[in-house]
Chains A and B, each alone.
Chain A
């Protein structure tokens, strides 16, 4: 009726308010006026029903004659559903997989008590919508994030990082819809900077991208579960990844600020050194750079550039911001003659080039339609760079002792987003 221009008020009983509201919300009108009388009216003396009518007539008149303001957040009043799950923790795993809540690893039950513990003081704002997540435009409320954090085994101390990471991936420049639904193997790599990393034990040291660090594991995992469950990207359904990669369970590390010869990523991006941030990159798995021999910056960059210059990378034709994670010893070698991080990026960008005759004719034809400036009507010995400009390279320092670094190609059509962590 409203859609046809006829103002309407719905009468109902208080016991069925949630149903009336859900129906109105489903039709895109959560602000449709609903006037309630005490439940029940069925099986009640008609005189009693008329008395209840008398009590609401002012409200009904207002509903018909005063424009109701649309709610600022249409889903803010809609909380998570409470459902019955098996008590047995092993049975819960099968049940959670059937419900498509799980990533395959064991989940912990998101009971209201556990979720409230994760929310802590934020429980008062549990329905606040922090972001809307593609592909299904799911509302990432604080509550929804806390529920997924509880599933992942995260604690209240991890929630601020999870919330900031969700803000980062929801930025339109991150292109979450594509990252979530592409066939390409990408997922947000979360890079934490600032003092919170030390406080929470988010590792940027030995095996930082591997196992053995609870904070890294549960933060990355919680964000992944939010993407799957709130964003609505179920593997094999909306998430169309051909193979995916292991980082889709969890992909989170800290930058090793203490041993880096250069300002850390968040300072490079304009945040105070004392602040904490999380940066999300839509990233492939890490590709290792083994160089135990080089003692000069130029020599070491040859190994990094050789690892980066691969023909199967999205970055080659979609550009974007490929990432280099330098092990601390490699970083020291690169800085040993005074190179700044900007200098490292400039030199590396110069070196990462691929001759067009290394691509098939069909691929070149395809790339030419996507990026004609770089690929159309070029001679066979022309070279393309890894990305459009040196500044597009993201360089961080992480890891423990050893002579390894990592090249991390990205989805390409995504920008890395840095968001401050609010505790």
Chain B
């Protein structure tokens, strides 16, 4: 039979998100592809559409070596972009 677990959910500490810019004008937009099928298509299309809605947006992409491994280029990305698009799971 299916039963509900009585174990508690232990919350992690709530962390603040990064402050948001008012617009994407002149910003460096990073794209981190998680290497799942068609993730690159989805991410790049969204990135192009975002760039089209602002002025002077540059796009740079990175691809994770495998979707189930953590990205190794985090430091490089963090220092190279102002905002980031990425993908999770399939």
Contact = CB atoms under 8 A, between A and B. Distances in A.
Contacts of A312: none
B8 A1 contact: no
Interface string A1-40: 1111111111111011001100101111111101101011
Interface in B19-40: 19-24, 30, 36-39
Interface residues of B, number: 50
Contacts of A32: 17
A162 to B, nearest CB: 13
Interface in B26-67: 30, 36-39, 41-43, 45-46, 49-50, 53
B3 A53 contact: no
Given A10-B86, A140-B8, A41 B42 contact: yes
Contacts of B90: 12-13, 15-16, 39-42
Contacts, number: 229
B42 A9 contact: no
Contacts of B5: 80-83, 101, 147
Contact of A31 (B3, B17, B50): B17
A137 B74 CA distance: 31
A96 B46 CA distance: 48
Please classify the interface of chain A as helix (H, G, I), strand (E, B), loop, or mixed, using the class held by over half of its residues: mixed
A231 B84 CA distance: 37
A8 B86 contact: yes
B8 A16 contact: no
Nearest to A61: B50
A75 B9 contact: yes
Contacts of B42: 11, 37, 41, 49-50, 52-53
Interface stretch (A108-116, A263-271, A288-296, A370-378): A108-116
Contacts of B2: 82-85, 111-112
B45 A6 contact: no
Contacts of B49: 53-54, 57
A10 B88 contact: yes
Interface of B: 1-24, 30, 36-39, 41-43, 45-46, 49-50, 53, 74, 77-78, 81-90
26 contacts: A6-B77, A8-B18, A12-B87, A13-B90, A26-B12, A30-B14, A34-B88, A40-B90, A42-B90, A52-B42, A61-B24, A65-B20, A66-B20, A67-B20, A68-B17, A71-B14, A81-B5, A84-B2, A111-B1, A137-B11, A138-B10, A151-B6, A225-B6, A229-B6, A229-B8, A230-B6
